[in-house]
Structure 1
Amino acid sequence: MSEVQPLSGNWLDERTHLRKSLRRTDVTFYLLCTLVGLDTIGSVAASGPQGLVWMVILAVVFFLPYGFLTTELGTAFPVEGGPYVWTKLAYGRLAAGVNQVLYWLSNPLWMGGTLAIIAVTTFETFFLPLGVVGKIVAGLVFIWIGVAAVAASLHVGKWVPIAGAYARIVLLGFFMISVVVYAVKNGVQPLSGTDFIPTWSGFVVLVPVLIFNYVGFELPSTATEEMTDPQRTVPFAILRAGVSAFFLYGGPILGILLVVPAAQIQGLGGFIDAAKQVLTVYGGSVAADGTVTLTGAGAVLGSVCAAGLIIGVLTSGVSWAIGAHRAQAVACADGAGPAYLGRLSEKHGTPIRVNVLSGVLASVVLVTALNLTGGDSEKYFTAGLALVICTTFISYLLTFPSMLVLRHRMPDVDRPFRAPFAWLVTILTTGLVAFTVVVLIWPFELPSAFEGQRTEYTLSQVVPLLIVIGIGFLFYALGSPTRERDRELTSTSA
C-alpha cells in the first residue's frame, strides 16, 4: 500500500497526530451504534407489516452486497479518510473532494434535523412541553453536547458510540420484553397475512428509509490509521455488527406493529408512542381515544426509556460525525478543501475545526427549519430525513462503483478480501441508492406532512442539495494553495 501514495499536501504532517485507539471490539460496537438508527424505526413501522418483509429482502439485495463492497475497499486501501481516498484514487481529487463535502454535510443536516427533533419530541412526550423557543434551546444543547463528544481524543470519544451500542441493546431488549408482557395482559393488534405481501407502493416508501438504516459500513475506514490491524478488524466488525443490527432493528418494528393501531403510527412518533403504550403494564392506562397516561413504575420506566432514546439518537450522530469529520479533514489537508479545516488537534488528534463548523451548521439548520415550519415537528422531520438520506446517497453514487474502477486501475494492489460477484454487487448497491435519490427528490406520492405542497417539498430537497454541491466546488477552489505547494515540492524533488 505504501507504493500507492494516495494522499499528499498537508496531510503527511497532520497524520503524525494520530494515535492507535480502536481495537476490534471497539470497531464492532462503533458500527453497531452506527447501523441501529432509532430515528427510522417508526418510519418503517408506519408502513405496516410489509416493512418487515422489505427489510429482509433488502438485507439480501443491498445490506450483504454493501458489506462485501466496503470490506474489499477498506482492507485493500487501509488509509485514513476511507471513502475520500477510494474516490480520489478512482476518479481524481476534484470529484472526490465534492463527493466528500456531500458525505460530510449530511451529518450536520442530520444532527440539526431529524436527530435533534426526535430528542426534543421525546423530551416533550415524557417530561414537559416546549414552545418553539424551548425546542430551539433544547435542540442546541443536544447538538453541542455531540460536538464536545466528537472533539475528544478518540481513545476517550470512542466510548460514546460504544455506550450508545449498549444503550440500544438494553433499550430495545427491554422494549421487546415489555411487548411480550403487554401482549400477554392485553392482547395484540391483529395482523393479516395479506398485510405482509410486499407492494410497489411499499417499496417506494420503504427503500429510502431501510437502506439509510443499513448504511455505515465504511465509517470505521475513515479512521483506519487509528485502528489496530485494520485488514483483519474491518471484516470482523462488519460481519458481527451487521448480523446484530438486523435483529436489533427488526424486533422493535414487529413490537410496534403488535401494540400500536396502524392508523396511529407516525414516522416521528412511532417508537415513542409504542414505548409509552407497552409501559402501561407497569403502571398507567390507555384511554378510548388512544391517549396514554403513565403512572407509578410506568412513569419512572418511561422517563428512563426516554433518556435512553435521547442518548441513542445522540450517539448515532456522534458515531457518524467521528467518521465523516475525519474524512473531511483528510480531504482538506490533501488539497480538496481549505487547509485551515485540514488541521488536527495536536493534543487530541481530532479534526476540531471541522467539528466546530459542523456544530455551527447544525445549529443553523435547526433554527432555520423550526422557524420555517412554525414548530411543526412532523413536517420538519419528514423533510429533514429525506434531505439527509438524499445527500448521503448522492455521495455513494461515486463511492460504490470505485471498487470496480480500482480493480481495473490498480489490479496489483493486495486485496485481503475480494467481493464475490463484483459486477452484481456494484449494480445492486449503486442502482438502489440511485433509485432512492430519484424518489426522494420527486416522490410518486408526497409525504402526508406535505400533502398538496409538491413545490414546497421539492424545493426543500433541491435547494439545499445545490447549495451543498456548490460548497464542494468552493472548497476545492480554496484548496488550490495546498495543491500548488504539492506541485512545487514534486518539481523540486524531480
Structure 2
Amino acid sequence: MKEKKKFRLFDAVLMAVVVILVVESAAPAAAIGSSQFFWWGILLILFFLPYGLISAELGTTYTGDGGIYDWVKMAFGRRWGARVAWFYWINFPIWMASLAVLFTEVMTQIFGLTLGTPTLIILQLVFIWGVTLISCYPVSDSKWILNLAAFAKVAIMVCLGVLGIYHAVTKGMANDFSGKALLPSFDLKSLSFISVILFNFLGFEVVTTLASDMENPKKQIPQAIIWGGILIAFFYLFAAFGMGAAVPADQLSTSGGLIDSFILLVSGINPFVVVIGLLFMYTLAANLVSWALGVNYVAFYAAKNQDMPKIFAKENPKNEMPIGASIINGIVGSALVIVAPFIPNENIFWAFFALNVVALLVSYIMMFPAFLKLRKIDPDKERPFKVPGGPVLLKIIAYIPMLLLVITLFFSIVPLSSSEFSEKIPILIGTIVATIIGEICIRLGDKEYAKKQVEKNQN
C-alpha cells in the first residue's frame, strides 16, 4: 500500500496565504494611510500570533465538523455556540453582496461603461446566483479554483508593489512615508479601518485541519503561523505601498482604490489594466466559492443540532452538499443588492463589506475565552499541539486578541462624530438587525431542540 504523502511546512504556509489573502480588502486597509505599517506590525504580534496558536491547539484537539461553533458550544453551551454559528454564517451572504457590488464597479471601471441602476442590479444578481449555484456542487471544493485564485491574488499584489516602487523612484510618492508619518495618529477614520486588518488575519484555523497529515505538527504548525503571517502581511503591505505611491490616502476609494492605483501608475486604462481587472474580478468570485463549503457546512452542522433553523440542514442526497445554506445565501445576498440603492451611504461596497467584517469578527470573540475554559474543564484531553505557557501567560494570550476585537468593533460601528453618521449608522443598524434575527433563530432552535428531546424520551 502506497504511503500517504505528508503535508510539508511549505504546503501549510502556502495554504495559509491562499485562504487568508483577500485582495479586495487591500484598499480599505491602505485607506488608513502610512500608519498602517505600524498597525500591521503591532497586530501581527498582539493578534495574529496568539490567535494562530490558539486556533492550532483547538483545531488539532477538537477535530469535529463544527470547528469554532463546536469549541464555543463545548465551553459555554448551546446558545453561545448558536450565536457563533449565526454570525459566522451571516457574514457570508453580506460579503457576497459587497463583492457583487464591487464586481460591477470594477467591470464599469475597466471597460468605461455607464450603466443604470436596474442593469447593475441584474448583473449583481447574476454574480450572486452564479456563485450560489456553483456552491451547491462539489466543484466548490476544487483545488484548481483555489490555485488559480492564489496565482491571481499574488500577481495583482506583486504588480501593484513593483509599479509603486517604480513610480516612487521616477515620480515620487503621493503620500508621506517618513518616520513620523508611520506613527499612528489615532484619528477616528484610521481606527475605523483597523478592523479590516484583523479581518485580513482570520481563517488560520483552516490550516490546523492539516495536522494529521503533517510529519511534525507540534513544530510545523507554529512555524506555519509565523511564516504565513509574515507573508500575508508582506503581500498586503507591498500592495498598500503601491497604492500609497499612486493615490493620497484621503482620496483612496475603498472600492475602486486598487484599480484606480493601477490606472494612475500606468497613466491610463490599457490592456494591462484590463487584464488586472479581470483577474481581480475572478478572485472576487473565487474567494466566495472557496469559502462557501466551510461556511455553509458550519450552518448545516449547527442546524442538524437544532442550533440554526431547519432550512439550513437541507442537503442534496446525491452529493451531500448543504444546499439549504447555499440557497439562503443567494436570497439574502439578492435582497441586499436590491435594497442597496435606498441605503444612505455613497459607498455601498464599504457599507456591506464593513458589515461583513463586523459579523465575522463578532463570531471569533468567544473563541478566546472558550480556549481557557476548555483547558479548565477538559484538562486530560490529548492535545497534539499545546500553546506553551503558564496560567497568567495563557490569559494574556487569550484576552488581548479578544479585547482588540471588541475595541475595533466599537470604532467600526459606533459614530463618534457628526461626519461619521451617514457612513456608520447603516452599519450599526445592520449589526443590530442581524443580532435580533439571530436571537429569534436561536429561540426557534431552542423550541426545536426541546421538541426533539421530548420525542427522544418518549421513544
TM-score class, shorter-chain normalisation, is 0.7 to 0.9
Partners of 1:263 and 1:477 in 2: CA distance = 45
2:92: which partner in 1?
107
Q: Distance in 1 between matches of 2:451 and 2:207?
A: 31
Q: In structure 1, which of residues 409, 419, 435 is the aligned counterpart of residue 377 of structure 2?
A: 409
The 5 A counterparts of 1:111-122 are 111-113=96-98, 115-122=99-106
Match of 2:347, SS state, is helix
Instruction: Return closer, same or farther for 1:458/1:208 CA change in 2, 3 Å cut-off.
Output: same
Look up the match of 1:335: 306
Alignment of 1:29-428 (within 5 A): 29=14, 31-113=16-98, 115-127=99-111, 128-153=113-138, 156-189=141-174, 191-201=177-187, 204-219=191-206, 229=213, 232=217, 238-280=225-267, 293-294=268-269, 299-373=270-344, 378-420=346-388, 421-428=393-400
| Partner secondary structure for residue 49 of structure 1 | coil
- Cα distance in 2, alignment partners of residues 81 and 379 from structure 1: 35
| Bigger shift: residues 415-424 or 154-163 | 154-163
Distance 1:487 1:239 in 2: 49
Show CA shifts across 1:194-229 (max 9, x none).
2112222276234212111111223457xx5x9964
Indicate the SS of the match to 1:335: coil
| 8 Å CA contact retained: 1:28, 1:240 | yes
CA RMSD of aligned residues (A): 2.9
Contact 1:154 1:348 in 2 (8 A): no
Is contact 1:38-1:312 (8 Å) kept?
yes
Amino acid at match of 1:411: P
Please give the TM-score of this superposition, normalised by the length of structure 2: 0.87
- Give how far 1:253 is off: 0.5
Determine the C-alpha separation between the residues in 1 that align with 2:127 and 2:449.
Answer: 35
Write the distance in 2 (CA, Å) between the matches of 1:329 and 1:416: 27
User: CA shift at 1:483, angstroms?
Assistant: 5.2
Query: 1:26, 1:349 → 2: CA distance?
Result: 28
1:271-317 deviation per Cα after TM superposition (whole angstroms, max 9, x unaligned): 1211112233xxxxxxxxxxxx33xxxx1111100011112222233
State the TM-score, normalized to the length of structure 1. Answer: 0.81
Counting matched residue pairs gives 443
Residues 396 and 174 (structure 1), Cα distance of their counterparts in 2 relative to 1, 3 Å cut: same
1:67-90 deviations in Å (ceiling 9; x for gaps) = 111111111101111011011101
Q: 1:431 to 1:117 in 2, by over 3 A?
A: same
CA offsets 1:427-468 (integer angstroms, 9 cap, x no match): 11100001022112214346xxxx3x62x5554233322332
**C-alpha contact (below 8 Å) 1:329/1:354 kept by paired residues:** yes
* Identical pairs, percent: 27
Provide structure 2 residue ranges, at least 5 long, that are not aligned to the other structure: none
In 2: Cα distance, 1:473 partner to 1:108 partner: 18
Asked if 1 retains the 8 angstrom alpha-carbon contact of 2:29 and 2:194, the reply is no
Between the aligned partners of 2:28 and 2:141, the Cα distance in structure 1 is 33
* Cα gap change, 1:380 to 1:314, in 2 (>3 Å): same
Aligned residue number for residue 6 of structure 1: none
What code does the residue aligned with 1:425 have?
A: I
Distance 1:227 1:158, change over 3 A: farther
Distance 2:431 2:156 in 1: 35
Kept after mapping to 1: 8 A contact 2:85/2:363: yes
Aligned-pair CA distance for 1:106: 1.0
Which blocks of at least 5 consecutive residues in structure 1 are unaligned? 1-19, 281-292
Instruction: Provide the rounded CA distance (Å) in 2 between the counterparts of 1:123 and 1:84.
Output: 37
